Chain A
Amino acid sequence: NAGVTQTPKFQVLKTGQSMTLQCAQDMNHEYMSWYRQDPGMGLRLIHYSVGAGITDQGEVPNGYNVSRSTTEDFPLRLLSAAPSQTSVYFCASGGRSPQHFGDGTRLSIL
């Protein structure tokens, strides 16, 4: 089925470790974004991209890096994980159409 695919679905890290959350879409959307969801805070925009080679910061970008080398992929990198980054992460794609969301990655930092 067409849509937004996120991997992994679950991950546990130790403080200071690095990892990359993967996001891929097959709808040829120009716009892609990453959100984090925390209890009582809704979804907050981390980074977004309006096309290959173009990225920008959202509301809560600190501690995260992104790149967009292809239209399809938009990975999110945690360089040195901190307990405050424990959250559920959602990738979304859209543009001319409203954003489609992946099923999320549940990340715990110990």
Chain B
Amino acid sequence: AQSVTQLGSHVSVSEGALVLLRCNYSSSVPPYLFWYVQYPNQGLQLLLKYTTGATLVKGINGFEAEFKKSETSFHLTKPSAHMSDAAEYFCAVSEANFGNEKLTFGTGTRLTIIP
């Protein structure tokens, strides 16, 4: 069975500061890893995904994440936070056998940007 742990249910950063949202996963087989963002009263939007190949993945809105197999981590970063980044972020994993299907989500991290 696979699982996802997101450290920190709430993270606050100042505008212009580094954003770091942590995600650790467990999976018995090579994983596909995803970050989704949810704005208030909306569905989830894909930020980025890792499948195979390059371990540093770039996504939309200036976000990127690095897959570290030895640490079973897939942390999300952005060099400079913007007010529009305030949202809830979800890390998700699926076993490679299932590709983009059967996602297991973490419990989410709410990001607050301080002006």
Within 8 A of B (CB), among A40-67: 40-45, 48, 50, 58-59
Residues 1-17 of chain B, each 1 if its beta carbon lies under 8 Å from chain A, else 0: 00010000100000000
Cβ-based interface call for B72 (8 A) = no
For window 1-24 of chain A, which residues contact chain B by CB distance below 8 Å?
4
Number of A residues whose C-beta is below 8 Å from B?
27
- Please report the C-alpha to C-alpha distance between residue A71 and residue B3 in the assembled complex, in whole angstroms: 29
Across the interface, which residues of B come within 8 angstroms of A35, CB to CB?
A: 105
Q: Which of A43, A90, A96, A98 is the one whose CB lies under 8 Å from B49?
A: A98
Given A40-B9, A42-B90, A98 and B46 touching (CB < 8 A)? yes
Contact with B along A89-109 (1 / 0, CB 8 A): 010101111111111100000
Q: List residues of chain B with CB under 8 Å of any chain A CB.
A: 4, 9, 34, 36, 41-46, 49, 90, 99-108
Give the complex CA separation of A95 and B94 in angstroms.
Answer: 12
- Report how far A43 CA is from B91 CA in the complex, Å: 10
Judge whether A41 and B100 touch: CB under 8 Å: no
Q: Which residues of the partner chain B approach A4 to less than 8 Å between Cβ atoms?
A: 43
Enumerate chain B residues within 8 angstroms of A74, measured Cβ to Cβ. none
Q: Do residues B108 and A42 form an inter-chain contact, with CB atoms below 8 A?
A: yes
B102 touches A48 (CB 8 A): yes
Rounded to whole angstroms, the CA-CA distance of A42 and B41 in the bound complex is 15
Pair B105/A94 contact, Cβ less than 8 Å: no
Q: Knowing A101-B45, A103-B43, say if A42 contacts B101 (CB, 8 Å).
A: no
Are B34 and A101 in contact (CB-based, < 8 A)?
no
Q: Is the CB of B100 within 8 A of A42?
A: no
Residues of chain B contacted by A95 (CB below 8 angstroms): 99-101
Contact call A31/B100, Cβ cutoff below 8 A:
yes
